[in-house]
Amino acid sequence: MRRQFTGAAAAKGLAMGRARVREPHRLDVEERRVRADEVEQERELLREALGAARNELNELRERVRGAIAHEVGEFLDLHAMLLDDPELAEGLDELIRTGRYSAGYALRLQRDRLAAVFDGIDDPYLRSRREDIDHVIGRVYAALHSEPSPQVIGLAGEVLVCENIAPSELAQLHEEGVVAIVTGQGSPLSHSAILARSLHMPLLVGAHEALLHINDGDALIVDAYHGVVIAEPDADDLRGFRTAEAEEKRERRSLARLKKARTRTRDGVEVRLWANAESRDDVAQALSLDASGIGLYRTEFLFLQRGELPSEEEQFLAYRDLVLGMDGRPVTIRTLDLGADKADSTGLVLDDEDNPALGLRGVRLCLAHPGVFRDQLRAILRATAYGEVRVLIPMVSHAEELRTCRQIIDRCWTELEGEGHALGKRPELGAMIEVPAAALAIDTLLPHITFCSVGTNDLIQYLLAADRGNDALGALCSPEHPAVRFVLGEVFRRCREAGKQVAVCGELAGDPRYTEYLLRLGLTDFSMHPGSMLSVRKAVRDCDLG
């Protein structure tokens, strides 16, 4: 019997195949205490399980070949670093020694502790990193109980239906010919979603009911454009799928011809498309699609994927390679955008905050740790020797923060000149407009910057007091709300009158459904994931603002 379920499109696309259902893997471990003479045995079991999980990741890296090897490598590295994190091992060991818990129950307690930390993070992207904790702890638990890792053999042409998917699994599934994935949980901002988009594999997340009601072997149609999965489709569904599939192929061929096309509306308005980047592959793809430059480079990844703070030299090398990779086009580097418990793994540990969403984060955190901020700014300034660099300050709320940042940049520049470092053109300074106060008082910020970038992800949820990561509130976070429309229009107008460049770098910029909406509000600079660039370019070229 035909059934239809909905979810969130994390990686767009169409697919049809038989369902392969994987039952949820949960750590529903009952509490068990061990005798004093059993403690050492449990500690040894856990050490062996951690070692087995590490070996499994190393073996997976050896097996993954071809174009996706580099894509999945950074995710495998992150999981390996989580396994090697002393806090994880020491926390587990302490639970067994002092609490006399079994190794399995200690894993559950530690997972719950870490999950609580990530659940308290305000930023939706960073909050979605909780999935990595679940995947790593699940791998150790499987090793502890000698459970085999999920096999992917025989899945060619099938749709995997599961509770969640790890990036490393997704890479294997892609190689084995899985045509799409439907998950009961997950986020469009997760590592898996990022990788799925790079691999052009349709991924539907948050399809809670699908996991409960789809059976192994059901025929499925996955429409990850509209967030729909149909089980046991009827004749009309099949005809609709074939029509949509043919249209998708025509659309891909049509979009491919726009790689080097001008981004201009029908009535002659020139638009610039910038790329958001976080990896070398993003940079390479942006250049191949003729991006105007990098509109947002997220530097927090250099801090999050390690247990210690990166040195100035390490950061410099990363920023240098970024600038060189864009072959002379401008690169916008956002300074460290961490805060509250987001910074635990880097050593920037803060006391618990009652409301981390409104706490010490972004530029506030940087100014509270001037040594860390100085190292990052020096690394960014040294990269100016290799091309045009712009500095973007996140979470700005008033002009004094920008004045202080400018003073620190000037001091760092003078220091570097005195030390004999090669430097290029002084970087332009910009502000992220994501706090309502910054948007409403934009006139006070503009004298201190040469450009600004609107972070619509945070701005919209702050304006509407609705967490966009909360499924129950998703419909409230509409960019077409009159308040959002008014604020965006005012920011664009004020910047235009002041002769300052303004871009949107949030998810809204990469959604072709809102391209005309933003153009009519006065926006001409869009910054987005490279995978969205051709679709937005087409939307611009189809628009007639006259």
Q: If you write DSSP's letter for every residue of 327-362 in order, what string do you get?
A: TTS-EEEEPP--BGGGGGGGT------S-GGGSSBT
Q: In whole angstroms, what is the distance from residue 78 CA to residue 84 CA?
A: 10
pLDDT category, 222, cuts 50, 70, 90?
very high
| Residue closest to 506 by CA, chosen among 526, 520, 492 | 526
DSSP structural state of residue 226: T
- Give me the residue spans of the domains in the chain: 3-22+150-235, 36-144, 270-542
Is the torsion defined by CA of 57, 62, 63, 66 positive or negative? positive
Average pLDDT taken over every residue of the chain: 83
Kindly name the residue from 452, 505, 529, 543 that is annotated as catalytic. Answer: 505
CATH match for 36-144 among 1.10.3720.10, 3.30.720.120, 3.40.50.11540, 1.10.274.10: 1.10.274.10
The per-residue pLDDT for range 345-402, each reduced to its tens digit, is 556 645 566 666 677 888 998 999 999 999 999 999 999 999 999 999 999 999 999 9
Is residue 504 helix, strand or coil?
strand
Structure tokens, 355 = 């409301």
pLDDT category, 121, cuts 50, 70, 90?
low
Q: What is the mean pLDDT of residues 237-246?
A: 92
Place of tokens 């611009």: 540
Note the pTM of the prediction, 2 decimals.
0.68
Write the single-letter amino acid at 386: Y
The fold of the 270-542 domain, in CATH, is: TIM Barrel (3.20.20)
Q: If you write DSSP's letter for every residue of 408-452 in order, what string do you get?
A: HHHHHHHHHHHTT----SPPEEEEEE-SHHHHHTHHHHGGG-SEE
| pLDDT higher than threshold 60 for residue 73 | no
| pLDDT higher than threshold 70 for residue 152 | no
pLDDT category, 151, cuts 50, 70, 90?
very low
Task: Provide, rounded to the nearest whole percent, the portion of the chain with pLDDT above 90.
Answer: 45
pLDDT value of position 72? 54
Kindly name the residue from 79, 135, 174, 191 that is annotated as catalytic. Answer: 191
Q: Is 191 one of the annotated active-site residues of the chain?
A: yes
The number of beta carbons lying within 10 Å of the beta carbon of residue 380 is 25
Place of tokens 């490393």: 168
Tell me whether residue 260 is exposed, middle or buried, using C-beta atoms within 10 angstroms of its C-beta: 0 to 12, 13 to 18, 19 or more: exposed
The per-residue pLDDT for range 433-465, each reduced to its tens digit, is 999 999 999 999 999 999 999 999 889 989 998
Identify the residue with better confidence: 131 or 459: 459
Q: Which CATH architecture has domain 3-22+150-235?
A: 3-Layer(bba) Sandwich (3.50)
| pLDDT higher than threshold 70 for residue 313 | yes
Tally of CA atoms within 13 A in the half-sphere of 51 that contains its CB: 6
pLDDT value of position 356? 67
Q: What is the mean pLDDT of residues 28-42?
A: 78
Same fold, 36-144 and 270-542: no
| pLDDT higher than threshold 70 for residue 146 | no
| pLDDT higher than threshold 80 for residue 409 | yes
